Amino acid sequence: MSLTLKKGDEVLLYTTRGCFGNPTRDLGRVIGLATLTSEVSTLDEPVTFQERRFTEGCRLRVHGLTPFREGVVLRDLVDDLQVFPKPRNWSVRMRRASLKLPEADAGLVKRELQPLLKPYGEVVGDYALQRR
């Protein structure tokens, strides 16, 4: 399935369990809600995270973030999400830059996320300073 993101789309921000360098401690979590404020375009210089290289990007307006190492643990919702037809293999579908959620799934995740969100400026510094 091809996923085309465009200006105005709402996105959920997800961190993998290995994102902060300790996959035995950390869990994959939805940590934020944002809206694309630009179209996706080719970057002048690719962005690299560990071995993955991203050649396209866009601008986001982040509506809120959860405090560091908090958020909606996706694993806990897998059985209730239509996007994972085979819940035992759910993590395979997460090995991509983006995943389109059915409307009902997005609604469920956002309902779980909303009470955890804080204003971006209050918590973003914790993500930068507490890498591990």
Decide which of 54 and 32 is more confident. Answer: 32
pLDDT digits (tens, 9 = 90+) for 94-122: 666 678 888 999 999 999 999 999 999 99
Q: What is the value of pTM for the model shown?
A: 0.84
pLDDT digits (tens, 9 = 90+) for 1-31: 346 889 999 999 998 887 777 777 888 899 9
DSSP 38: S
Half-sphere exposure of 48 (CA within 13 A, CB side): 3
